[in-house]
Structure 1
Amino acid sequence: MSSEGFKNKKIVVTRPVERSESLANIIRENNGQPIIVPTLELQIVKSKELLYIVENIGEYDWIVFTSPAGVKSFFSVYGKNPIPSKIAVIGVKTEEILKKFDETPDLIPKDFTAEGLLESFASIDLDGKKVALPRTLSARDVLPKGLEEYGAVVTVAEAYTSSIPKDKTKIIKLMDDILNDEIDIITFTSPLTVHNLLKVINENCNEKYDEFLDKLRSDVIVASIGPITGKALKQYDIPAIEANRYTVKDMIEILLQNI
């Protein structure tokens, strides 16, 4: 690994703007130039299911948080009261946000995926147990279905939405920058960051879509935070560098080892 880090390479961050700064800071610390182009917009949703969970939290044996946005949405309704349920989280960032509300998770998997969490739950008796799952409805069904297979009664509550940004100008400019060889690396931290980017370009600049895909496949270094995001990239035949541990810090470290 070079002591010069990224040597002022331009590195795109496609995360929602609320979650981009931590990754951008790590890039700066390693002499890179972060280019923040959100391909997701997050908005808190106070759904009737979320309100039910909050009002009846004492009924639940477990509450599972899969993202920082889910934690923030829950506490925007719940307030500062201690959570009586046991708490499971996916990922160190979700754990970090949870601790800001003076709560500590009872379960966090080594593998920061839905599959990893299910593996951690495998040795825990969930038969007949009530589990609350505040999250975005666009997430995969792997976790709630897996918990139900363990015998749990799962309440999925929409806690936030993940949508394509209304203002697409940054995404269009990113396409032009990549076509003009002005971007060195692009990072993806969820399947939707991949799908939304390509959907916007396909729908708004269809004549350049194939050329853009070719650039991602051959001329730009692509980084994936983990196998679920990597699977999304494979759908478009885009090769990616991927770390063994699914955090932004590990993603940056594996990039530094491969540039």
Structure 2
Amino acid sequence: MAKQPTVISTWPEKPDDRFKTILESQDITVLSMPVIEIHTSFFELKQNINDYQWIIFTSKNGVRFFLKKYRPSPANQIAVIGRGTASALLEAGYEPDFTGSGHSGEKFSEELQSVSGTGKNILLVLGNLAPDLLTKSLSANNQVERVNVYETKQPENFDESILNRIKSDDYDLIAVSSPSGIKNLCHLVSDKLKASLRVVSIGETTTSAALKLGIKVKATAKDQSYEGLAKTVLGMLNRTG
């Protein structure tokens, strides 16, 4: 491992990166090597927005891209997965009526239906690569419309100097925040190196994707947010924060 704690983040850079801020406050170097790009998708709702009893957001990107085109009405109740998604909604001026734990789509479905009941008209806001697990789980007892509001793609170029640090084992941890992120990371390294990657995951869904690709995740954040991921990294590096 590197003598100076070095963590590599793999999501697109952003000005309000709590993960980076928290770690750098503890004298940990954070290197950014985005392995995904986020782009808006063309989308239209099949119904009037007032007709949805619940709108569900599963990510900050979902909130951001949806609100560029549509605005929730007083007729809608809003549910989110995880505190990070809730934070993005609050910053846009909307307060969620329900915030799920974010441990998994199936768990969220159980949590929401214990509050909302069944037989609801639900709008599920996702990205193009999000699996259908939540859609299927909610559809058993509700009418669910899925809308993809953004696309996740692999960048054409990567920071070769950071990639070389991974290949030469010159880092402490790699932080991943989505199944697409871990998938694209795997495309950049050999199968032999893949098995030795020191990965820390933002949540159970990302960890599950990593395991399916043959990557043994070192730790999974209990709180599915960038702040929760940062605290998990601090624990792995024996920093109190």
TM range, smaller chain: 0.7 to 0.9
What is residue 74 of structure 1 aligned with on the other side?
66
2:89 paired with 1:98: yes
For residues 19 and 64 of structure 1, the distance between their equivalents in structure 2, rounded to whole angstroms, comes to: 25
The runs of 5 or more residues in structure 2 that have no matched partner are none
**Which residue of 141, 154, 166 corresponds with 2:156?**
166
**Which residue of 208, 212, 216 corresponds with 2:193?**
212
What is residue 219 of structure 2 aligned with on the other side?
241
Aligned residues: 234
For residues 110 and 184 of structure 1, the distance between their equivalents in structure 2, rounded to whole angstroms, comes to: 28
Greater percentage in helix: 1
CA drift at 1:131: 0.7
What is residue 206 of structure 1 aligned with on the other side?
none
Q: Report matched runs for 1:117-128 at 5 Å.
A: 117-123=108-114, 124-127=116-119
Change (3 A) 1:40 1:166: same
The answer to which structure, 1 or 2, has the higher relative contact order (CA under 8 A, 6+ apart) is 2
> Is the 8 Å Cα contact of residues 18 and 227 (structure 2) preserved in structure 1?
no
CA drift at 1:31: 1.1
| Root-mean-square deviation (Å) | 2.2
Change (3 A) 1:21 1:245: closer
Q: Deviations over 1:171-195 (max 9, x none)?
A: x443311222321211111111100
Instruction: Give aligned-pair identity as a percent.
Output: 25
Change (3 A) 1:38 1:188: same
**Which residue of 186, 198, 223 corresponds with 2:174?**
186
Q: Report matched runs for 1:1-259 at 5 Å.
A: 8-18=4-14, 21-49=17-45, 52=46, 56-78=48-70, 82-123=73-114, 124-127=116-119, 129-150=120-141, 152-167=142-157, 169-170=158-159, 172-199=160-187, 201=188, 209-216=190-197, 221-235=198-212, 236-259=214-237
Change (3 A) 1:94 1:237: closer
For residues 223 and 163 of structure 1, the distance between their equivalents in structure 2, rounded to whole angstroms, comes to: 21
TM-score by length of 1: 0.82
For residues 25 and 85 of structure 2, the distance between their equivalents in structure 1, rounded to whole angstroms, comes to: 22
> Is the 8 Å Cα contact of residues 63 and 133 (structure 1) preserved in structure 2?
yes
Q: Deviations over 1:203-242 (max 9, x none)?
A: xxxxxx13422441xxxx3211122111122121423212
CA drift at 1:114: 1.5
Change (3 A) 1:66 1:214: closer
